[in-house]
Amino acid sequence: MNGKWNGKLQSVGGGGYAGSTTVPTDAILSGYVGVSTDTGHTGNDGSFGMLAPGRPNTALQIDFAYRSEHLMSVIGRQLIQAFYGKPPAYAYWNGCSTGGRQGLMMAQRFPEDYNGILAGAPAIHWDRFQAAQIWPQVVMLRDNAGVISSEKLALATNAAVNACDAADGVADKVIDDPRACRFNARTLRCQNGSQGGSCLTESEASAINKMWEGPVVGGTRLWWGPRPGAALSSLAGQTPFLIAVAQPRYWVYYDQAWDWKMLDYSNYKEFFDLTVKRVGPVIATDDPDLSRFKSHGGKLILWHGWADPLIMPDGSIDYYDAVTRKMGGGYAQTQTFVRLFMAPGVAHCRGGDGPMPQGLFDAVVNWVEHSEAPSTIMASRPLPGGTTRRRPLCPYPQVAVWKGSGSTDDAANFVCKGSP
Protein backbone atom coordinates (compact mmCIF):
# COMPACT_ATOMS: atom_id res chain seq x y z
CA MET A 1 0.00 0.00 0.00
CA ASN A 2 3.07 2.28 -0.37
CA GLY A 3 2.96 3.06 3.31
CA LYS A 4 -0.52 4.57 3.09
CA TRP A 5 -3.36 3.73 5.46
CA ASN A 6 -6.40 2.32 3.70
CA GLY A 7 -8.75 3.80 6.27
CA LYS A 8 -9.55 0.48 7.97
CA LEU A 9 -8.83 -1.51 11.13
CA GLN A 10 -7.97 -5.20 11.14
CA SER A 11 -7.84 -7.13 14.40
CA VAL A 12 -5.85 -10.36 14.16
CA GLY A 13 -6.76 -13.28 16.40
CA GLY A 14 -4.46 -15.56 18.36
CA GLY A 15 -3.97 -19.30 18.76
CA GLY A 16 -4.14 -21.72 21.68
CA TYR A 17 -4.24 -19.78 24.94
CA ALA A 18 -2.93 -16.72 23.07
CA GLY A 19 -0.48 -15.58 25.75
CA SER A 20 1.71 -13.49 23.46
CA THR A 21 1.53 -10.89 20.72
CA THR A 22 3.10 -10.73 17.29
CA VAL A 23 3.22 -7.87 14.85
CA PRO A 24 0.23 -8.24 12.48
CA THR A 25 2.52 -7.90 9.49
CA ASP A 26 0.13 -9.10 6.80
CA ALA A 27 -2.55 -6.67 7.90
CA ILE A 28 -0.11 -3.76 7.99
CA LEU A 29 1.40 -4.56 4.60
CA SER A 30 -2.11 -4.58 3.18
CA GLY A 31 -2.66 -1.03 4.39
CA TYR A 32 -4.65 -1.73 7.55
CA VAL A 33 -3.99 -0.58 11.05
CA GLY A 34 -3.36 -4.00 12.52
CA VAL A 35 -3.85 -4.88 16.17
CA SER A 36 -3.45 -8.01 18.27
CA THR A 37 -3.60 -8.94 21.96
CA ASP A 38 -2.03 -11.37 24.42
CA THR A 39 -5.53 -11.58 26.00
CA GLY A 40 -4.26 -10.39 29.38
CA HIS A 41 -1.66 -13.00 30.30
CA THR A 42 1.71 -14.42 29.32
CA GLY A 43 2.26 -18.02 28.28
CA ASN A 44 0.29 -20.70 26.50
CA ASP A 45 -0.13 -23.42 29.12
CA GLY A 46 -3.54 -22.32 30.43
CA SER A 47 -2.36 -22.03 34.03
CA PHE A 48 -3.60 -18.43 34.23
CA GLY A 49 -7.12 -19.85 34.55
CA MET A 50 -6.39 -20.89 38.16
CA LEU A 51 -5.73 -18.31 40.87
CA ALA A 52 -4.75 -20.89 43.47
CA PRO A 53 -5.56 -24.55 44.14
CA GLY A 54 -9.33 -24.82 44.28
CA ARG A 55 -9.88 -21.26 43.03
CA PRO A 56 -10.48 -20.05 39.48
CA ASN A 57 -8.90 -16.83 38.25
CA THR A 58 -12.18 -15.41 37.02
CA ALA A 59 -10.77 -12.05 35.97
CA LEU A 60 -8.12 -13.53 33.68
CA GLN A 61 -10.57 -16.09 32.32
CA ILE A 62 -12.90 -13.27 31.29
CA ASP A 63 -9.97 -11.31 29.84
CA PHE A 64 -9.11 -14.31 27.67
CA ALA A 65 -12.68 -15.15 26.76
CA TYR A 66 -13.88 -11.78 25.52
CA ARG A 67 -12.84 -8.64 27.42
CA SER A 68 -9.39 -8.24 25.86
CA GLU A 69 -10.71 -8.73 22.32
CA HIS A 70 -13.37 -6.07 22.82
CA LEU A 71 -10.88 -3.63 24.36
CA MET A 72 -8.54 -4.29 21.44
CA SER A 73 -11.23 -2.83 19.21
CA VAL A 74 -11.89 0.09 21.54
CA ILE A 75 -8.23 1.02 21.97
CA GLY A 76 -7.46 0.40 18.30
CA ARG A 77 -10.12 2.91 17.32
CA GLN A 78 -8.86 5.42 19.89
CA LEU A 79 -5.31 5.18 18.55
CA ILE A 80 -6.51 5.59 14.97
CA GLN A 81 -8.52 8.67 15.95
CA ALA A 82 -5.55 10.16 17.78
CA PHE A 83 -3.04 9.47 15.01
CA TYR A 84 -5.10 10.00 11.84
CA GLY A 85 -7.71 12.39 13.21
CA LYS A 86 -10.64 10.25 12.11
CA PRO A 87 -12.17 6.85 12.93
CA PRO A 88 -11.73 3.83 10.69
CA ALA A 89 -14.24 3.54 7.89
CA TYR A 90 -14.47 -0.22 8.46
CA ALA A 91 -13.28 -2.66 11.11
CA TYR A 92 -12.57 -6.34 10.48
CA TRP A 93 -11.67 -9.42 12.46
CA ASN A 94 -9.34 -12.04 10.99
CA GLY A 95 -8.59 -15.22 12.90
CA CYS A 96 -8.38 -19.00 12.89
CA SER A 97 -8.65 -21.56 15.71
CA THR A 98 -8.68 -19.49 18.92
CA GLY A 99 -8.77 -16.49 16.60
CA GLY A 100 -11.91 -17.88 14.98
CA ARG A 101 -13.53 -18.29 18.38
CA GLN A 102 -12.56 -14.75 19.33
CA GLY A 103 -14.17 -13.38 16.20
CA LEU A 104 -17.40 -15.23 16.89
CA MET A 105 -17.38 -13.99 20.47
CA MET A 106 -17.28 -10.44 19.14
CA ALA A 107 -20.26 -11.14 16.87
CA GLN A 108 -22.15 -12.57 19.84
CA ARG A 109 -21.24 -10.15 22.64
CA PHE A 110 -20.04 -6.97 20.91
CA PRO A 111 -21.75 -7.05 17.53
CA GLU A 112 -21.04 -3.42 16.69
CA ASP A 113 -17.26 -3.73 17.05
CA TYR A 114 -16.72 -5.20 13.57
CA ASN A 115 -18.28 -4.83 10.14
CA GLY A 116 -16.88 -8.13 8.92
CA ILE A 117 -15.45 -11.25 10.55
CA LEU A 118 -13.44 -14.15 9.17
CA ALA A 119 -13.53 -17.10 11.58
CA GLY A 120 -11.58 -20.18 10.52
CA ALA A 121 -11.68 -23.53 12.36
CA PRO A 122 -13.32 -21.66 15.25
CA ALA A 123 -12.59 -23.00 18.72
CA ILE A 124 -16.22 -22.56 19.74
CA HIS A 125 -17.87 -25.01 22.13
CA TRP A 126 -14.54 -24.50 23.92
CA ASP A 127 -15.76 -26.50 26.90
CA ARG A 128 -16.96 -29.52 24.91
CA PHE A 129 -14.42 -29.94 22.17
CA GLN A 130 -11.52 -29.63 24.61
CA ALA A 131 -13.08 -32.22 26.88
CA ALA A 132 -13.37 -34.42 23.79
CA GLN A 133 -9.70 -33.87 22.94
CA ILE A 134 -8.67 -36.23 25.76
CA TRP A 135 -11.05 -38.97 24.55
CA PRO A 136 -8.51 -40.61 22.17
CA GLN A 137 -6.10 -41.03 25.08
CA VAL A 138 -8.85 -42.50 27.26
CA VAL A 139 -9.90 -45.09 24.67
CA MET A 140 -6.29 -46.08 23.96
CA LEU A 141 -5.65 -46.60 27.67
CA ARG A 142 -8.90 -48.44 28.40
CA ASP A 143 -9.18 -50.52 25.20
CA ASN A 144 -5.53 -51.01 24.32
CA ALA A 145 -3.75 -50.57 27.68
CA GLY A 146 -1.48 -47.97 26.09
CA VAL A 147 -0.72 -45.79 23.11
CA ILE A 148 -0.96 -46.90 19.49
CA SER A 149 2.08 -46.25 17.32
CA SER A 150 1.98 -43.34 14.88
CA GLU A 151 2.63 -45.89 12.13
CA LYS A 152 -0.59 -47.76 12.91
CA LEU A 153 -2.60 -44.59 13.32
CA ALA A 154 -1.46 -43.51 9.86
CA LEU A 155 -2.31 -46.98 8.53
CA ALA A 156 -5.91 -46.56 9.68
CA THR A 157 -6.21 -43.02 8.33
CA ASN A 158 -4.82 -43.97 4.92
CA ALA A 159 -7.07 -47.02 4.72
CA ALA A 160 -10.13 -44.89 5.51
CA VAL A 161 -9.18 -42.40 2.79
CA ASN A 162 -8.62 -45.20 0.27
CA ALA A 163 -12.00 -46.71 1.12
CA CYS A 164 -14.03 -43.50 1.02
CA ASP A 165 -12.14 -41.24 -1.38
CA ALA A 166 -14.04 -42.03 -4.57
CA ALA A 167 -17.53 -41.79 -3.04
CA ASP A 168 -17.82 -38.28 -4.48
CA GLY A 169 -16.95 -39.49 -7.96
CA VAL A 170 -13.39 -38.17 -7.89
CA ALA A 171 -10.34 -40.15 -6.72
CA ASP A 172 -7.98 -37.54 -5.31
CA LYS A 173 -6.88 -38.94 -1.93
CA VAL A 174 -9.38 -36.66 -0.17
CA ILE A 175 -12.71 -37.51 1.47
CA ASP A 176 -15.06 -34.73 0.42
CA ASP A 177 -17.61 -35.37 3.18
CA PRO A 178 -16.26 -37.76 5.82
CA ARG A 179 -19.65 -37.96 7.52
CA ALA A 180 -20.56 -40.46 4.83
CA CYS A 181 -17.44 -42.59 5.40
CA ARG A 182 -18.34 -45.83 7.15
CA PHE A 183 -14.89 -47.38 7.22
CA ASN A 184 -14.35 -49.82 10.09
CA ALA A 185 -10.81 -50.12 11.46
CA ARG A 186 -11.50 -53.78 12.21
CA THR A 187 -11.03 -54.55 8.51
CA LEU A 188 -7.32 -54.00 9.22
CA ARG A 189 -7.11 -56.61 11.97
CA CYS A 190 -4.08 -58.86 11.95
CA GLN A 191 -4.82 -62.34 10.56
CA ASN A 192 -3.24 -65.76 11.17
CA GLY A 193 -0.82 -64.55 13.79
CA SER A 194 0.58 -61.69 11.71
CA GLN A 195 1.71 -58.55 13.50
CA GLY A 196 3.63 -55.34 12.98
CA GLY A 197 2.77 -52.04 11.37
CA SER A 198 0.78 -53.50 8.49
CA CYS A 199 -2.25 -54.52 10.58
CA LEU A 200 -4.11 -53.72 13.80
CA THR A 201 -4.81 -55.80 16.85
CA GLU A 202 -8.44 -56.08 17.97
CA SER A 203 -7.80 -53.61 20.81
CA GLU A 204 -6.11 -51.11 18.49
CA ALA A 205 -8.97 -51.30 15.99
CA SER A 206 -11.52 -50.85 18.78
CA ALA A 207 -9.76 -47.75 20.08
CA ILE A 208 -9.43 -46.18 16.63
CA ASN A 209 -13.11 -46.74 15.85
CA LYS A 210 -13.99 -45.00 19.13
CA MET A 211 -11.71 -42.09 18.27
CA TRP A 212 -13.60 -41.52 15.02
CA GLU A 213 -16.93 -41.94 16.77
CA GLY A 214 -16.03 -39.41 19.44
CA PRO A 215 -17.10 -39.52 23.09
CA VAL A 216 -20.23 -41.63 23.26
CA VAL A 217 -21.09 -42.91 26.73
CA GLY A 218 -24.05 -45.13 27.50
CA GLY A 219 -25.40 -44.53 24.02
CA THR A 220 -25.33 -40.75 24.46
CA ARG A 221 -23.17 -38.63 22.16
CA LEU A 222 -21.35 -36.02 24.20
CA TRP A 223 -19.32 -34.57 21.33
CA TRP A 224 -17.66 -35.42 18.05
CA GLY A 225 -14.38 -37.05 17.16
CA PRO A 226 -11.91 -36.19 14.42
CA ARG A 227 -13.32 -37.42 11.13
CA PRO A 228 -11.73 -40.19 9.02
CA GLY A 229 -9.01 -38.56 6.95
CA ALA A 230 -7.73 -36.39 9.81
CA ALA A 231 -4.38 -37.29 11.33
CA LEU A 232 -5.05 -39.13 14.60
CA SER A 233 -1.58 -38.60 16.05
CA SER A 234 -2.37 -35.00 17.07
CA LEU A 235 -4.71 -36.15 19.85
CA ALA A 236 -3.65 -39.81 20.10
CA GLY A 237 0.08 -39.20 20.28
CA GLN A 238 2.59 -40.53 22.77
CA THR A 239 1.45 -37.82 25.17
CA PRO A 240 -1.88 -36.01 25.36
CA PHE A 241 -2.43 -32.72 23.56
CA LEU A 242 -1.35 -29.94 25.94
CA ILE A 243 -4.64 -28.05 26.09
CA ALA A 244 -6.63 -31.24 26.66
CA VAL A 245 -4.84 -31.59 30.00
CA ALA A 246 -4.49 -27.90 30.83
CA GLN A 247 -8.21 -27.20 30.77
CA PRO A 248 -9.16 -29.84 33.38
CA ARG A 249 -6.24 -28.87 35.61
CA TYR A 250 -6.66 -25.11 35.60
CA TRP A 251 -10.25 -24.46 34.49
CA VAL A 252 -12.27 -27.40 35.82
CA TYR A 253 -10.67 -29.00 38.89
CA TYR A 254 -8.24 -26.17 39.79
CA ASP A 255 -5.68 -28.80 40.62
CA GLN A 256 -2.29 -28.82 38.89
CA ALA A 257 -1.78 -32.46 39.87
CA TRP A 258 -4.95 -33.70 38.15
CA ASP A 259 -4.12 -36.81 36.13
CA TRP A 260 -6.10 -37.65 33.00
CA LYS A 261 -5.43 -41.36 33.59
CA MET A 262 -8.14 -41.37 36.24
CA LEU A 263 -10.72 -41.12 33.44
CA ASP A 264 -12.55 -44.24 32.28
CA TYR A 265 -15.91 -45.10 30.74
CA SER A 266 -17.64 -44.93 34.11
CA ASN A 267 -16.62 -41.38 35.02
CA TYR A 268 -15.96 -39.68 31.68
CA LYS A 269 -19.48 -38.25 31.42
CA GLU A 270 -19.18 -36.78 34.90
CA PHE A 271 -15.91 -35.15 33.84
CA PHE A 272 -17.50 -33.89 30.62
CA ASP A 273 -20.56 -32.46 32.37
CA LEU A 274 -18.45 -30.70 35.01
CA THR A 275 -16.33 -29.18 32.25
CA VAL A 276 -19.43 -27.81 30.53
CA LYS A 277 -20.70 -26.43 33.85
CA ARG A 278 -17.49 -24.63 34.83
CA VAL A 279 -16.04 -23.61 31.48
CA GLY A 280 -19.09 -23.14 29.30
CA PRO A 281 -20.56 -19.97 30.85
CA VAL A 282 -17.29 -18.08 30.37
CA ILE A 283 -15.96 -19.25 27.05
CA ALA A 284 -18.23 -21.69 25.19
CA THR A 285 -18.88 -19.04 22.50
CA ASP A 286 -21.87 -20.91 21.10
CA ASP A 287 -24.70 -18.35 21.37
CA PRO A 288 -26.64 -18.73 18.09
CA ASP A 289 -28.44 -15.40 18.42
CA LEU A 290 -26.64 -13.16 15.94
CA SER A 291 -29.60 -10.82 15.44
CA ARG A 292 -27.73 -7.74 16.69
CA PHE A 293 -24.76 -8.50 14.45
CA LYS A 294 -27.11 -8.87 11.50
CA SER A 295 -28.96 -5.66 12.36
CA HIS A 296 -25.64 -3.84 12.48
CA GLY A 297 -25.03 -4.96 8.89
CA GLY A 298 -22.25 -7.35 9.87
CA LYS A 299 -21.02 -10.08 7.55
CA LEU A 300 -19.41 -13.29 8.74
CA ILE A 301 -17.54 -16.02 6.89
CA LEU A 302 -16.90 -19.29 8.72
CA TRP A 303 -14.70 -22.00 7.31
CA HIS A 304 -13.39 -25.30 8.58
CA GLY A 305 -11.19 -28.07 7.20
CA TRP A 306 -12.83 -31.50 7.15
CA ALA A 307 -9.46 -33.09 8.06
CA ASP A 308 -8.92 -30.91 11.13
CA PRO A 309 -7.19 -33.16 13.71
CA LEU A 310 -7.64 -30.80 16.68
CA ILE A 311 -11.00 -29.03 16.53
CA MET A 312 -13.79 -31.28 15.37
CA PRO A 313 -15.33 -29.78 12.21
CA ASP A 314 -18.82 -31.01 13.09
CA GLY A 315 -18.86 -28.34 15.80
CA SER A 316 -18.85 -25.59 13.17
CA ILE A 317 -21.72 -27.25 11.34
CA ASP A 318 -23.62 -27.66 14.61
CA TYR A 319 -23.21 -23.96 15.33
CA TYR A 320 -24.23 -22.88 11.84
CA ASP A 321 -27.32 -25.05 12.04
CA ALA A 322 -28.11 -23.58 15.47
CA VAL A 323 -27.85 -20.05 14.07
CA THR A 324 -30.17 -21.05 11.22
CA ARG A 325 -32.76 -22.44 13.64
CA LYS A 326 -32.52 -19.40 15.91
CA MET A 327 -32.70 -16.79 13.19
CA GLY A 328 -35.42 -18.53 11.18
CA GLY A 329 -35.94 -18.62 7.44
CA GLY A 330 -33.70 -21.59 6.70
CA TYR A 331 -30.23 -21.55 5.18
CA ALA A 332 -31.21 -19.02 2.54
CA GLN A 333 -31.93 -16.45 5.25
CA THR A 334 -28.78 -17.26 7.24
CA GLN A 335 -26.67 -16.90 4.11
CA THR A 336 -27.70 -13.27 3.78
CA PHE A 337 -25.13 -12.46 6.47
CA VAL A 338 -23.30 -15.66 7.49
CA ARG A 339 -21.78 -18.28 5.19
CA LEU A 340 -19.96 -21.48 6.11
CA PHE A 341 -17.45 -23.16 3.82
CA MET A 342 -16.20 -26.67 4.54
CA ALA A 343 -12.79 -27.51 3.03
CA PRO A 344 -12.28 -31.22 2.16
CA GLY A 345 -8.91 -32.62 3.17
CA VAL A 346 -7.70 -29.44 4.88
CA ALA A 347 -6.21 -29.81 8.36
CA HIS A 348 -6.19 -27.26 11.21
CA CYS A 349 -6.23 -23.80 9.59
CA ARG A 350 -3.82 -25.05 6.92
CA GLY A 351 -2.11 -28.16 5.62
CA GLY A 352 -3.53 -31.55 4.80
CA ASP A 353 -4.06 -33.15 1.39
CA GLY A 354 -6.92 -30.95 0.22
CA PRO A 355 -6.86 -27.65 -1.68
CA MET A 356 -6.44 -24.68 0.66
CA PRO A 357 -9.10 -21.92 0.60
CA GLN A 358 -7.84 -18.70 -0.99
CA GLY A 359 -8.92 -15.09 -0.62
CA LEU A 360 -11.14 -15.66 2.38
CA PHE A 361 -10.46 -12.33 4.06
CA ASP A 362 -10.85 -10.46 0.77
CA ALA A 363 -14.23 -12.17 0.38
CA VAL A 364 -15.34 -10.74 3.73
CA VAL A 365 -14.22 -7.24 2.74
CA ASN A 366 -15.93 -7.49 -0.63
CA TRP A 367 -19.14 -8.65 1.01
CA VAL A 368 -19.12 -5.78 3.51
CA GLU A 369 -18.08 -2.99 1.19
CA HIS A 370 -19.69 -4.06 -2.09
CA SER A 371 -22.58 -6.26 -0.90
CA GLU A 372 -21.26 -9.16 -2.96
CA ALA A 373 -21.82 -12.38 -1.02
CA PRO A 374 -19.32 -15.09 -1.98
CA SER A 375 -21.09 -17.73 -4.09
CA THR A 376 -17.94 -19.88 -3.88
CA ILE A 377 -14.48 -19.71 -2.37
CA MET A 378 -11.63 -20.87 -4.58
CA ALA A 379 -9.31 -23.50 -3.09
CA SER A 380 -6.00 -24.55 -4.59
CA ARG A 381 -3.15 -26.96 -4.07
CA PRO A 382 0.20 -27.16 -5.91
CA LEU A 383 0.78 -30.52 -7.58
CA PRO A 384 3.99 -32.28 -8.65
CA GLY A 385 5.20 -31.06 -12.01
CA GLY A 386 4.23 -27.46 -11.40
CA THR A 387 0.50 -27.76 -12.00
CA THR A 388 -2.22 -26.64 -9.57
CA ARG A 389 -5.43 -28.31 -8.43
CA ARG A 390 -8.28 -25.82 -8.11
CA ARG A 391 -11.67 -26.56 -6.61
CA PRO A 392 -14.61 -24.38 -5.63
CA LEU A 393 -15.86 -24.49 -2.06
CA CYS A 394 -19.61 -24.01 -1.85
CA PRO A 395 -21.64 -22.37 0.91
CA TYR A 396 -22.84 -25.06 3.31
CA PRO A 397 -24.98 -27.13 2.92
CA GLN A 398 -24.13 -27.14 -0.80
CA VAL A 399 -21.15 -29.17 -2.01
CA ALA A 400 -19.00 -29.03 -5.12
CA VAL A 401 -19.76 -31.88 -7.54
CA TRP A 402 -17.71 -32.83 -10.59
CA LYS A 403 -19.70 -32.42 -13.81
CA GLY A 404 -18.41 -35.76 -15.05
CA SER A 405 -16.10 -34.48 -17.77
CA GLY A 406 -12.98 -32.37 -17.94
CA SER A 407 -10.02 -32.26 -15.59
CA THR A 408 -10.82 -32.74 -11.93
CA ASP A 409 -8.06 -30.24 -11.20
CA ASP A 410 -10.00 -27.45 -12.94
CA ALA A 411 -12.57 -25.64 -10.79
CA ALA A 412 -14.63 -24.87 -13.90
CA ASN A 413 -15.58 -28.54 -14.10
CA PHE A 414 -17.40 -28.49 -10.75
CA VAL A 415 -20.81 -27.16 -9.81
CA CYS A 416 -22.42 -26.45 -6.44
CA LYS A 417 -25.31 -28.78 -5.67
CA GLY A 418 -27.73 -29.12 -2.80
CA SER A 419 -30.39 -26.93 -1.25
CA PRO A 420 -29.18 -23.40 -0.38
70 is catalytic: no
348 is catalytic: yes
- Choose, from 97, 206, 233, 316, the residue flagged as catalytic: 97
Q: Is the pLDDT of residue 418 over 90?
A: no
Asked which of 1-5, 11-15, 185-189 is least confident by mean pLDDT, the reply is: 1-5
Per-residue pLDDT tens over the stretch 93-140: 999 999 999 999 999 999 999 999 999 999 999 999 999 999 999 999
Looking at residue 194, what is its pLDDT?
74
Per-residue pLDDT tens over the stretch 310-358: 999 999 999 999 999 999 999 999 999 999 999 999 999 999 999 999 9
Distance CA 216, CA 137 (A): 14
Measured at the CA of 93, the angle between CA 91 and CA 95, to 5 degrees, comes to 165
Q: Is the pLDDT of residue 91 over 60?
A: yes
Q: What percentage of residues in the chain have a pLDDT greater than 70?
A: 99
Domains of the chain and any CATH numbers: 8-126+283-375+393-399 (3.40.50.1820), 129-282 (no CATH)
- Choose, from 41, 125, 304, 348, the residue flagged as catalytic: 348
Per-residue pLDDT tens over the stretch 137-188: 999 999 999 999 999 999 999 999 999 999 999 999 999 999 999 999 999 9
Q: Is the pLDDT of residue 360 over 90?
A: yes
Q: Is the pLDDT of residue 62 over 80?
A: yes
Looking at residue 344, what is its pLDDT?
98
Looking at residue 195, what is its pLDDT?
73
pLDDT band at 2 (very low <50, low <70, confident <90, very high): low
DSSP 241: -
Looking at residue 116, what is its pLDDT?
98
Q: Is 4 helix (H, G, I), strand (E, B) or coil?
A: coil
Looking at residue 420, what is its pLDDT?
61
DSSP 180: G
- Residues 181, 228 contacting (CB under 8 angstroms): yes
Q: What are the residues whose beta carbons fall under 8 Å from the beta carbon of 252, sequence distance 6 or more?
A: 271, 274, 275, 278, 279
Q: What percentage of residues in the chain have a pLDDT greater than 90?
A: 96
Q: Is the pLDDT of residue 46 over 80?
A: yes
Distance CA 111, CA 97 (A): 20
Q: What are the residues whose beta carbons fall under 8 Å from the beta carbon of 131, sequence distance 6 or more?
A: 215, 222, 223, 247, 248, 271, 272, 275, 276
Q: Is the pLDDT of residue 38 over 90?
A: yes
Looking at residue 401, what is its pLDDT?
96
Taking the CA atoms of the chain, what radius of gyration do you get in angstroms?
A: 22
Distance CA 65, CA 58 (A): 10
- Residues 7, 88 contacting (CB under 8 angstroms): yes
Q: Residue 309 phi/psi, 5° resolution?
A: -90, -5
Sign of the alpha-carbon dihedral angle for 348, 350, 356, 357: positive
How many C-beta neighbours within 10 Å does residue 327 have? 18
Look over the chain and give the mean of its residue pLDDT values, rounded to a whole number. 96
> In Å, how far are 229, 343, 384, 404, 416 from 349, measured between CA atoms?
15, 10, 23, 30, 23
Say if residue 275 is exposed, middle or buried (CB neighbours under 10 Å; 0-12, 13-18, 19+).
buried
- Choose, from 308, 314, 316, 318, the residue flagged as catalytic: 308
Q: Counting every residue, how long is the chain?
A: 420
